[in-house]
Structure 1
Amino acid sequence: MKYQYVLYDLDGTLLDTNELIIRSFEHTLDLHTPGAYTREHILPQMGAPLFQQMELFAPGRSEELVATYRRYNLEQHDALVTAFPHVVEVLRELHEAGCKQAIVTSKVRLTTEKGLALCGLSPYLDAVVTVDECEHHKPHPEPVLKAMALLGADPASTIMIGDSPFDIGAGQAAGVATAGVKWSLRGEAGLRPHHPDYLVSDMLELRKIILGT
Structure 2
Amino acid sequence: MTSEATDPTEGLRKLIELARFVLFDFDGPICRLFARHSAVGVAREQVRWLEGRGLHGLLTNGVRDDPDPQVVLRAVDRRRPGSDLVVELEERLTHEELTAVGSAWPTPYADALIRTWSAVGVRLAITTNNSPRAAIRYLDGRGLLDCFAPHIYGRTQDLRLLKPDPHCVRRALSAMGADPAGTLMIGDTPSDFLAARAAGVHFLGYARDARKEGLLRGVGADRIVTSLEPVLSVVRSIGAAG
Scaled by the length of structure 2, the TM-score of the pair is 0.71
Per the alignment, residue 10 of structure 2 pairs with none
Per the alignment, residue 69 of structure 1 pairs with 93
Separation in 2, partners of 1:98, 1:133: 33
What is the one-letter code of the residue matched to 1:137? L
CA deviation profile, 1:16-63 (whole Å, cap 9, x unmatched):
1133333322332244349967996224x75x7x7414447xx44544
Separation in 2, partners of 1:209, 1:53: 41
Separation in 2, partners of 1:39, 1:12: 24
Q: What displacement does 1:5 show?
A: 0.9
Matched, 1:203 2:239: no
Matched, 1:98 2:116: no
Taking a change above 3 Å as real, the CA distance of residues 78 and 41 of structure 1, as seen in their structure-2 partners, is: closer
Say which SS state the counterpart of residue 18 (structure 1) adopts. Answer: coil
RMSD of Structure 2 on Structure 1 (CA): 3.2
Separation in 1, partners of 2:146, 2:51: 41
Q: How many residues align?
A: 207
Identity over the aligned pairs, expressed in percent?
A: 23
Separation in 1, partners of 2:144, 2:173: 19
Taking a change above 3 Å as real, the CA distance of residues 53 and 152 of structure 1, as seen in their structure-2 partners, is: same
Separation in 2, partners of 1:208, 1:72: 35
Matched, 1:2 2:24: no
Deviates more, 1:97-106 or 1:195-204: 195-204
Separation in 2, partners of 1:29, 1:185: 29
Taking a change above 3 Å as real, the CA distance of residues 107 and 157 of structure 1, as seen in their structure-2 partners, is: same
Give 5+ residue unaligned stretches, structure 2.
1-16
Matched, 1:29 2:47: yes
Q: What displacement does 1:72 show?
A: 4.0
Deviates more, 1:132-141 or 1:145-154: 132-141
Indicate conservation of the 8 Å contact 2:31/2:105, yes or no: yes
Scaled by the length of structure 1, the TM-score of the pair is 0.80
Indicate conservation of the 8 Å contact 2:29/2:110, yes or no: no
Taking a change above 3 Å as real, the CA distance of residues 161 and 53 of structure 1, as seen in their structure-2 partners, is: farther
Separation in 2, partners of 1:53, 1:210: 40
Taking a change above 3 Å as real, the CA distance of residues 172 and 78 of structure 1, as seen in their structure-2 partners, is: closer
Indicate conservation of the 8 Å contact 2:20/2:183, yes or no: yes
CA deviation profile, 1:162-199 (whole Å, cap 9, x unmatched):
11111100000011111111116942111111122411
Structure number, greater radius of gyration: 2
Matched, 1:42 2:42: no
Indicate conservation of the 8 Å contact 1:22/1:39, yes or no: no
Deviates more, 1:109-118 or 1:97-106: 109-118
Per the alignment, residue 130 of structure 2 pairs with 107
Separation in 2, partners of 1:115, 1:98: 22
